[in-house]
Amino acid sequence: MLRKSLDENIEKLKNEMLLMGSQVEEAIEKSIQSLKEQDVELAKQVMEDDDKIDEYELELEELCTRLIATQQPVAGDLRTIIVISKLATDLERIGDHASNIAKMVINIGDEPLIKPLIDIPRMTDIVTNRLKESLKAFVNLDTELADEIARQDEEVDLLDEQILRELLTFMIEDPKTIRQAMSLIFISRFLERIGDHATNICERVIYMATGDWDVSY
Amino acid sequence: MLRKSLDENIEKLKNEMLLMGSQVEEAIEKSIQSLKEQDVELAKQVMEDDDKIDEYELELEELCTRLIATQQPVAGDLRTIIVISKLATDLERIGDHASNIAKMVINIGDEPLIKPLIDIPRMTDIVTNRLKESLKAFVNLDTELADEIARQDEEVDLLDEQILRELLTFMIEDPKTIRQAMSLIFISRFLERIGDHATNICERVIYMATGDWDVSY
């Protein structure tokens, strides 16, 4: 009876975490949409919505701590709960990065973009897909998927590097582009960090499944 | 008897965490020393030493999980152990930022610095002091200190903003400074993030002491 209740509670925790995950994905997508459309109002909304993501983390923390305290899970269940509490922190940080992107969009304002956005939306697609898949790997305890997604981190790093190099040439050629180029470089860097968190999530999934922390990408 | 053993184990965990903290402080200081002295070899060493910090996190994670599983702590003890496992993640991320700073130092190489370093060392002093004090607040469960240190985050943010503005003027005046100025801006940003982690640690101390997650700075 107690056993069943623990399973149910862990299921509930996982669902809460997935809900938090969708909010975070939405925040990333909206932040980049606000960049593409130079929609300062949407960017402001992303920043405001970040409070809800922060609250989600606290709520999940509380649920995890209470579950450990009241049901004293062991082995795999305990590991799962601890991992969920860590994933909540990763998701909260990803939310912060989406909010940071929105802040840069507000900095850019309605000044015409110095170049068409190609790599940043591409990077966003890769990063949000990696986040989705990493959470899927978590729910299905799919270590193969986790391993595959973790390895895609390099692609994001290369894109970030490419964006930096390209924008540097703009800055050097025309100092008037410096401020905006800086904002775009920061946005690329925030996306790269979101990618890092997706990698973290994958690593935690592997730990949860194998108890083996010794994985690094 | 079991009770005493749990206290002893928590004490051991705290000490391990403090040792990790000193390694991380050293990494920050060495990374900025490598910048001041443009010592690429030292920067490389900081990057290599980061592996040890990563291992520390895994070791602490394992100790925390094992302690929860074998001794089934409740209430305050459970909260302390969970907080230690979270602090280990903050410390590991701070180590990553020190390593990122070192990477920028390597990028700059032996190219003469575009300006004397004033604000970055100042920011480093504030940030490492905040980190030390936040860990002290944790060990002594000193919520007043934690509260005070958390509030100092704004000072670091202002310095980061000031560094950005100053370097932007250099970049605009002389495009040849752009690459180095970018590296310095990133270094300032990494220090600012380290400051954020010190704030996280303070918030967790307050949570640990009060069970109240509802603190934000």
Instruction: Give the pLDDT band of residue A217 (cuts 50, 70, 90).
Output: very low
The pLDDT confidence band at residue A216, using thresholds 50, 70 and 90, is: very low
Report d(CA A179, CA B165) in Å as an integer.
Answer: 10
* Angle subtended by helix axes B178-210 and B153-173, to nearest 10: 170
Question: Mean pLDDT in chain A?
Answer: 91
CA–CA separation, B62 and A211 (whole Å): 9
What's A176's DSSP letter?
G
Residue numbers in B near A87 (CB within 8 A) = none
Q: How far away is chain B from the Cα of A64, in angstroms, using its nearest Cα?
A: 10
| Mutation site for B-interface testing, chosen from A57, A58, A77, A189 by largest number of B Cβ within 10 Å | A58
Query: What's the angle, vertex CA B68, arms to CA B64 and CA B74, rounded to 5?
Result: 120
Alpha helices, H only, A37-151: 40-71, 75-108, 119-139, 143-151
Question: Taking a C-beta distance cutoff of 8 angstroms, is the pair B6, B81 a contact?
Answer: no
Which residue shows structure tokens 């690329």? A188
Residue A61 CB neighbour total at 10 angstroms: 20
pLDDT of residue B79: 87
A119-139 and A75-108 helices, crossing angle to 10°: 160
Axis-axis angle for helices B143-151, B153-173 (nearest 10): 20
Q: State the average pLDDT over residues A65-78.
A: 86
Q: What angle do CA B53, B59, B65 make, to 5 degrees?
A: 140
Q: Is the pLDDT of residue A62 over 90?
A: no
Q: Where is A153: in which H helix or E strand?
A: helix A153-173
Query: What is the rounded CA–CA span in Å between residue B134 and residue B217?
Result: 14
- Look-up of token digits 């070899």: B41
Average pLDDT over residues A40-54: 97
Question: What pLDDT is recorded for position B208?
Answer: 80
Q: Hey, how many other C-beta atoms are within 10 angstroms of the C-beta on B208? A: 22
- Mean pLDDT across A152-180: 93
| Cross-chain Cβ contact B182/A168 below 8 Å | yes
Q: Determine, for residues A213 and B182 on separate chains, whether the beta-carbon distance falls below 8 Å.
A: no
Higher pLDDT, A56 or A2: A56
To test the contact with chain A by mutation, choose from B77, B99, B171, B212 the residue with the greatest count of A C-beta atoms within 10 A, namely B171
Tens of pLDDT, residue by residue, chain B (217 residues): 455 688 999 999 999 999 999 999 999 999 999 999 999 999 999 999 999 999 999 899 889 988 998 888 887 888 899 899 999 999 999 999 999 999 999 999 999 999 999 999 999 999 999 999 999 999 999 999 999 999 999 999 999 999 999 999 999 999 999 999 999 999 999 999 999 999 999 998 988 887 654 444 4
3-state secondary structure chain B: CHHHHHHHHHHHHHHHHHHHHHHHHHHHHHHHHHHHCCCHHHHHHHHHHHHHHHHHHHHHHHHHHHHHHHHCCCHHHHHHHHHHHHHHHHHHHHHHHHHHHHHHHHHHCCCCCCCCCCHHHHHHHHHHHHHHHHHHHHHCCCHHHHHHHHHCHHHHHHHHHHHHHHHHHHHHHCHHHHHHHHHHHHHHHHHHHHHHHHHHHHHHHHHHHHCCCCCCC
Contact B172 A182 (CB under 8 A): no
Which residues on chain B place their C-beta less than 8 Å from a C-beta of chain A?
54, 58, 61-62, 64-65, 68-69, 72, 74-75, 78-79, 82, 85-86, 89, 164, 168, 171-173, 175, 178-179, 182, 185-186, 213-214, 216
pLDDT recorded at residue A71:
87
pLDDT given at position B211:
66
Amino acid letter for position A202: C
Nearby residues of B47 by Cβ (< 8 Å), 6 or more positions away: B99, B102, B103, B106
**Minimum distance, in Å, between the CA of residue A209 and any CA atom of chain B:** 14
Judging contacts by C-beta atoms under 8 Å, the chain A residues touching residue B63 are none
pLDDT confidence of residue B10: 93
